[in-house]
């Protein structure tokens, strides 16, 4: 399974970076191959200063070895060996009318002292972080997510949408990071849902990323914007940074497993602002966004 899934995410990385380069029309992804001294490595691809994408990355990695003590404590195991592979992407567009997007799809195996698999699971999802709220964009993104889920189980969209709203919540701000999408973790094999069925589900969600996001990019990338709207984008990016550094489990896992720091912090935007106590004007489009972030909505 780990070989099969890693092959899938390598191909998905190729598809996504090619499509994004075409959408940008100017920038190309720089590739950085790296190895992890403790075991494994990855293929990082980063785009910067593009016509559409100010910064972004689409990374794949496969790491293995002894689980660090902090993670052994977390999983309540001792002397455990692990294998983890996944694809992770974040895109920060230049135009504030184009939303930031994040997606991640991963597979994990935990072994006993004999090298036998004692635990395995899939995780992942994708979510949208707009700076200006276009309801039709939110509906499009969520409808693609729902369609992909419904093909496997009609209950999945509602469940994993709710988990996304719960997970991407900046508790110290009492607001969501964005308008959500899907989030799932610890998809372990059962008699009803063997690993092969979870693989089919997770890869289907991975394939849904481009249809969910690219039409929004194409629709919004040439819209005009003001310096004030750009400033608002940079303020909201600050909230994105806060979540990734304070709450995100993937960032924590990477840092605690001696992960590659440049790949882990690829998700951070290049230009961010933290003005003191900034409150958007009542009745403004900026205030409308914050209202939705305070109270997550059903989009489909």
Q: What residues act catalytically?
A: 102
The answer to whether 235 touches 154, Cβ cutoff 8 Å, is no
Print the SS3 string covering 76-92: CCCCCEEEEEEEEEEEE
The answer to whether 92 touches 269, Cβ cutoff 8 Å, is yes
Strand partners of residue 30: 46
Task: Give the Cα separation of 155 and 83 in Å (integer).
Answer: 30
Per DSSP, 177 falls in state: S
The answer to whether 10 touches 59, Cβ cutoff 8 Å, is no
Which residues in the chain belong to E strands, given as ranges? 30-35, 40-48, 53-66, 81-93, 100-111, 117-129, 169-170, 175-176, 180-187
Task: Give the Cα separation of 240 and 174 in Å (integer).
Answer: 13
Length of the chain: 300
């Amino acid at each position: 399974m780990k070989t099969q899934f890693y092959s899938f995410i390598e191909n998905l990385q190729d598809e996504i970076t090619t499509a994004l380069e075409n959408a940008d029309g100017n920038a190309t992804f720089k590739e950085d191959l790296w190895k992890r001294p403790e075991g494994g490595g990855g293929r990082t691809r980063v785009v910067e200063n593009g016509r559409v994408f100010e910064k972004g990355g689409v990374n794949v990695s496969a790491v293995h070895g002894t689980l660090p003590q902090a993670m052994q404590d977390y999983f309540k195991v001792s002397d455990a060996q692990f294998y983890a592979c996944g694809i992770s992407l974040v895109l920060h567009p230049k135009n504030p009318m184009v939303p930031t997007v994040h997606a991640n799809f991963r597979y994990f195996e935990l072994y006993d002292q004999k090298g036998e698999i004692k635990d395995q699971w899939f995780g992942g999802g994708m979510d949208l972080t707009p700076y200006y709220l276009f309801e039709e964009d939110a509906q499009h993104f969520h409808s693609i997510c729902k369609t992909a889920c419904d093909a496997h189980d009609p209950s999945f969209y509602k469940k994993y949408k709710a988990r996304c709203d719960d997970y991407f919540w900046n508790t110290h701000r009492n607001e969501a990071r964005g308008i959500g999408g899907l989030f799932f973790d610890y998809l372990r094999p059962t008699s009803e849902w063997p690993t092969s069925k979870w693989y089919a589900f997770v890869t289907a969600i991975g394939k849904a990323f481009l249809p969910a996001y690219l039409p929004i990019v194409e629709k919004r990338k040439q819209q005009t914007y003001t310096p004030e709207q750009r400033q608002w984008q940079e303020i909201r990016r600050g909230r994105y940074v806060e979540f990734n550094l304070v709450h995100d489990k993937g960032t924590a896992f990477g840092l605690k497993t001696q992960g590659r720091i440049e790949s882990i912090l690829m998700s951070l935007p290049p230009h961010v602002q933290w003005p003191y106590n900034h409150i958007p004007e009542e009745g403004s489009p900026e205030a409308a966004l914050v209202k939705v972030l305070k109270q997550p909505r059903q989009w489909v």
